[in-house]
Structure 1
Amino acid sequence: MKTWFITGTSTGLGRILTEKLLQQGQRVAATLRKPDALDDLKGQYGNQLWVARLDVTDSAQIKDVVKKAFDELGQIDVIVNNAGYALFCAAEEASDEQIRQQIDTNILGSVQVIRAALPFLREQRGGRILQLSSAGGQTTYPNFSYYHLTKWAMEGFCDTLAKEVAPLNIGVTIVEPGAHHTAFGAALATAPVMEAYDKTPAGDIRRAMQSGTFPIKNDVDRTVQSIIECVETSPAPLRLALGGDAYRDMRAALVSRLEALDNQKATAMASEMQD
């Protein structure tokens, strides 16, 4: 039996992951802004489920909750940074406050959870950190510019973090799901629409989302099970792509970037000083 610490467990992948882990006999420290959202699971699983209120934009609260979880539960094997949301608008449409909230939640919240957990993981000589990113951490879709800002930032942070903590027996995996039928779409934050973007790719994506024609073909249950199983893989996979759309879109983006880089090889190498 492992103990998992998971943020953002009220809905979506966080809730489904919590449910599946409890069904499999694992122990879960679940955090969320409204703890009563898990009253049904607490009633069913009792002490197998530890629940705490946590707003990941509150760094002091993060430190307190993470410390309390380790103090009361002892060893925690897996830290899952799941809390987050998407600001769905063109770059020009968002307000300063919306941009700040997106960054505070998706970047600073995730970073501070990891920073709070690391001393305990070091002390217990190991553990896993799972950072929920998305296919949008490697590729981009119009109208998600600020969401991509946060996911690309966390991927760079975790890619570096993995190198720093590997000698300490701490594994890091960036989880990159494609589109799934969860509460994610319903939780999209929006901004007033500017007519200038109506006949652009941003407008096309908006209409596809609103009409329900945006393709979603991934199985949530299989994806969550793959997340659970990845912690048994050693060494920890740095990235875990989940969903056919995630694989196709990320591969196309990577191939395109590699082709562009290769086309600049002569220019790049010309700047290198010769011995």
Structure 2
Amino acid sequence: MTKTWFITGTSSGFGRIMTEKLLNRGDRVAATLRKVEALDDLKAQYGHQLWTASLDVTDTQAVHQAVDRAFADLGRIDVVVSNAAYALFGAGEEVTDEQIRHQIATNLIGSIAVIRAVLPHLRAQGGGRILQVSSEGGQIAYPNFSLYHATKWGIEGFIEAVAQEVAPFGIEFTIAEPGPASTGFRGGLVSPPPMAVYDDTPAGHVRAAVSSGAFVLTGDPVKMVQAMIDSTERSPAPQRLALGVSTYASIRKALLSRLAVLEAQKDIAFSTDVDA
């Protein structure tokens, strides 16, 4: 049975690949992106099967307008994919205040705005699925990606809470956590001027690895997108979807490490309640 999808950030990367796959199998797609002409080739090929709108997710009013128009024009939307994002690449001290604000406005506030805008429509139609494209960086952290991680960890916490709030309305969430993949990752990084003091530090080492190509992108974006699409057929919706061998290994290592730290501090935790 064909479905109707609403996807943000469809000009390239995961969003573009997903749009192509869904259209090819016969689904309808409401695709948003900052420059709609980037999808002119797909519009010419698929016609009314593809609905497009210009959207910058940092404009919360525009997000609501685009979502309202998509539901009005297309009726029921089965799956909403919050995908628009980018990575701010630099040590926490290097990045500028303006860059920090834009990173948070795009990845965190923008994703929150999309989710908040679609919830009334999904409630009204009796349910639906929301797929948030996060990253392995929503559960682990690399030096030089501190602000990117702040947004990904933030959106995952938001979704964990909201998923509980709207479950009674038949609305389900999945957080997709792909690892490094060839989606234009390096070209999409926004970087401040580097500070030499960080050259021989973990932040500098990651910076050198990315610039030299030593930061290996092992994930296949086409396979990752297919796994995201397939996840929408699973019931109940998987809360998280780790994508990639390195992603699985890195997240598992991080979770085990955090659990070990928690267990080591059990006595301290238990000692801080009010006395009986």
TM-score class normalised by the smaller sequence: over 0.9
Give the alignment's TM-score, normalised by structure 2: 0.98
- In structure 2, the partner of 1:102 is 103
**Paired residues, what number?**
275
Cα offset for 1:274?
Answer: 4.4
Alignment of 1:79-118 (within 5 A): 79-118=80-119
Deviation at 1:216, TM superposition (A): 1.6
Match of 1:163 in 2: 164
User: What is the match of residue 66 of structure 2?
Assistant: 65
Match of 1:74 in 2: 75
Give runs of ≥4 in structure 1 deviating > 2 Å: 272-275
Query: What's the % identity of the aligned pairs?
Result: 58
User: Aligned AA for 1:43?
Assistant: A
Give the letter for the 1:269 counterpart.
F
The DSSP-based 3-state class of the residue aligned with 2:7 is strand
Instruction: State the partner residue of 2:43.
Output: 42
Q: Which residue in the other structure is 2:34 paired with?
A: 33
CA distance in 1, matches of 2:107, 2:226: 23
Partner residue in 1 for 2:20: 19
Provide Cα deviations, 1:225-257, integer angstroms capped at 9, x if missing partner.
100010111111111100111101111111110
Superposed, which structure 2 residues align to 1:1-275 within 5 Å?
A: 1-275=2-276
Structure 1 residue 182: Cα displacement: 0.8
8 A contact 1:2–1:27 mirrored in 2:
yes
DSSP-derived class of the 1:190 partner: coil
Distance 1:185 1:24 in 2: 30
d(CA) in 1 for partners of 2:218, 2:101: 32
State the Cα distance separating 1:198 from its structure 2 match.
0.4
Residues 162 and 238 in structure 1, CA contact (< 8 A), matched pair in contact too: no
Q: Give 1:184 deviation, angstroms.
A: 2.4
- In the alignment, structure 2 segments of 5+ residues that lack a partner are none
Q: Which amino acid aligns with 2:163?
A: A
| Deviation, structure 1 residue 213 | 1.1
Q: What is the deviation of 1:217?
A: 1.6
Classify the secondary structure of the residue corresponding to 1:104: helix
Tell which deviates more after alignment, 23-32 or 210-219.
210-219
Residue segments in structure 1 that go unaligned for 5+ positions in a row: none
CA displacement at 1:272 relative to structure 2: 2.3
Shift of 1:24: 1.1
User: What is the alpha-carbon distance in structure 2 between the residues aligned to residue 233 and residue 72 of structure 1?
Assistant: 27
Amino acid of the structure 1 residue aligned with 2:6: F
| 1:143-183 Cα shifts (integer Å, max 9, x gaps) | 00000000000000001111111111000111100010112
Normalising by structure 1, we get a TM-score of 0.99
Q: Deviations over 1:48-80 (max 9, x none)?
A: 100000010101111110000000000000110
